[in-house]
Amino acid sequence: MINQDQFDNLLVEAENEINNGADAAVLYHKYLGRNGKFSTMIKQITTLKTDERKVVGEKAKIIKNRLNYLLQIKTSSNQPSIDLTLPADLTAHGHQHPIETSIARLYQISERLGFVAAQSPEIENEDNNFEFLQIAKDHPARDMQDTFWTVDGRVLRTHTTAFQQNLIKNNHPPFAFVQGGKIYRCEAEDATHLSEFHQFDGFAVAKNLTFADLRGVLFQLIQDFFLRPVELRFRPSFFPFVEPGAEIDMKCFSCTGRGCRSCGYKGWLELLGCGITDQEIIASAGLDPKEYHGLAFGLGVERFAMLYYGVEDIREFTRNDPRFLEQLV
Ligand code: FA5
């Protein structure tokens, strides 16, 4: 004799099949079709006594509604949610600016080399930007970074090296930080100079760091950035906050060292400044300069990007001409 439990069991069975991914149309036919399981069961209700027929009938109605509802949901979730008849979206999509892409790649590469990303403000106090780095007011090195001042005597940072003081005073060695960002110099613009551009600096302090570590880090970073074999050389150079100080040059891609327009007929291109942190800076942070050594470097992101993408005029990066930028995705 048909009873309420059999209808409950039918629902459980159908729910299992729905949840296990069976096809909605097949299930519809199997349970609610003319000769489906539910129809077969409902026919048996006529054999029941009147009072039982009423109770089991009520149950059957509830189960049928539930089955209908579940199968409807199943059918609609099988429909594609995109209306393929709509017109295509032909809006042009933008992309990251090549300088942002270059900075992101420099972060990625240096993080693999053990550096941690740091941040410092674009408006700095004079001490962080100059004095701490031993660029005194009357030092000729100040002229190389002619500066924008705010009315309250702060500066638009002239190099990302300005992050060093806070790092060395707030972190106990060993540490290794990098930072990329905008810097400002009161400078005439030409094919290789901007007055507002980006630098990427690294600063590490630990026991027994040597020039060999500096060389290892920078040669790896440069190689990974340009993604092709590069020939590099150190050239001694003066920066008041490092001793010894150097610049790294790369053999020109275009002429492989013979000399051409891209390298100003020198055969080599200047890439960055670097060196071993001056002992007085280490000492001014309360560290023993005999024990602790620092390595530091600072590169021009636009210059790196020019060489990587083969761009001849640095000003292209700031003109915002989509015909130029679209080529550097
Ligand atoms: C500095 O700014 C030092 N702070 C770098 C440094 C850091 C040296 C740590 C030692 C230790 P410099 O002024 O040379 O150095 O600039 C660094 C790089 O910025 C240059 O090698 C060059 O790639 C880029 N650069 C300099 N001036 C400009 C400019 N006007 N436009 C575009 N890029 C520039």
Q: What does the domain layout of the chain look like in residue ranges? A: 4-77, 98-328
Quick one: pLDDT at residue 157? 96
246 CA from centroid of ligand 1 (Å): 12
Distance CA 174, CA 81 (A): 54
**Sole residue written with tokens 């500096």:** 214
Tell me how far the alpha carbon of residue 272 lies from the centroid of ligand 1, in angstroms: 6
The residue written with tokens 């209908």 in the block is 68
Which pLDDT score is estimated for 19?
87
Long-range CB contact pairs, 167-172, < 8 A, 24+: 167/118, 167/203, 168/203, 168/205, 168/281, 168/282, 168/285, 168/287, 168/294, 169/285
CA 203 to ligand 1: nearest atom: 9
- How many other C-beta atoms lie within 10 A of the C-beta of residue 295? 25
**Residue 130 Cβ contacting ligand 1 at under 6 Å:** no
pLDDT of residue 80: 64
What pLDDT was estimated at residue 11? 92
For ligand 1, say whether the CB of 306 is within 6 Å of any of its atoms: no
Q: Which fold has domain 98-328?
A: BirA Bifunctional Protein; domain 2 (3.30.930)
What is residue 85's predicted lDDT score, i.e. its pLDDT? 83
CA-nearest residue for atom 31, ligand 1, is 193
Give the span between the Cα atoms of 244 and 37, in whole angstroms. 89
Give nearest CA residue, ligand 1 atom 33. Answer: 300
User: Measured in angstroms, how far is the CA atom of residue 169 from the centroid of ligand 1?
Assistant: 24
Distance 300 CA to ligand 1 centre (A): 6
Which is the closest atom of ligand 1 to the Cα of 133? 4
Task: Please give the pLDDT value at position 201.
Answer: 98
Q: Which residues contact 319 (CB under 8 A, 6 or more apart)?
A: none
Gap from CA of 59 to ligand 1 centroid (Å): 82
pLDDT confidence of residue 203? 98
pLDDT confidence of residue 25: 87
- Which of 161, 186, 237, 306, when mutated, tests ligand 1's pocket best, judged by the most ligand atoms within 8 Å of its CB? 161
Ligand 1 centroid–CA 240 distance in Å is 13
Structure confidence at residue 263 (pLDDT):
81
Give me the tens of pLDDT residue by residue for the chain, a chain 329 residues long: 899 999 999 999 999 998 888 888 889 899 998 889 999 999 999 999 999 999 999 999 999 988 988 888 877 776 666 777 888 877 778 899 999 999 999 999 999 999 999 999 999 999 999 999 999 888 776 776 778 899 999 999 999 999 999 999 999 999 999 999 999 998 889 988 999 999 999 999 999 899 999 999 999 999 999 998 899 999 999 999 999 999 999 998 878 889 887 788 889 989 999 999 999 999 999 999 999 999 999 999 999 999 999 898 999 999 999 999 999 98
User: Is residue 41 in contact with ligand 1, taking CB distance under 6 Å?
Assistant: no
The model's pTM is 0.75
Pocket test for ligand 1, best of 215, 272, 311 (most atoms within 8 A of CB): 272
The CA 276 to ligand 1 mean position distance, Å, reads 16
Minimum CA distance residue for ligand 1 atom 3: 298
Cα 77 to averaged position of ligand 1 atoms, centre (Å)? 59
Structure confidence at residue 78 (pLDDT): 67
Measured from the CB, is residue 278 less than 6 Å from ligand 1? no
Write down the pLDDT at residue 292. 97
Question: Which ranges in 200-278 belong to alpha helices (H)?
Answer: 211-226
Residue nearest atom 10 of ligand 1, based on CA coordinates: 274
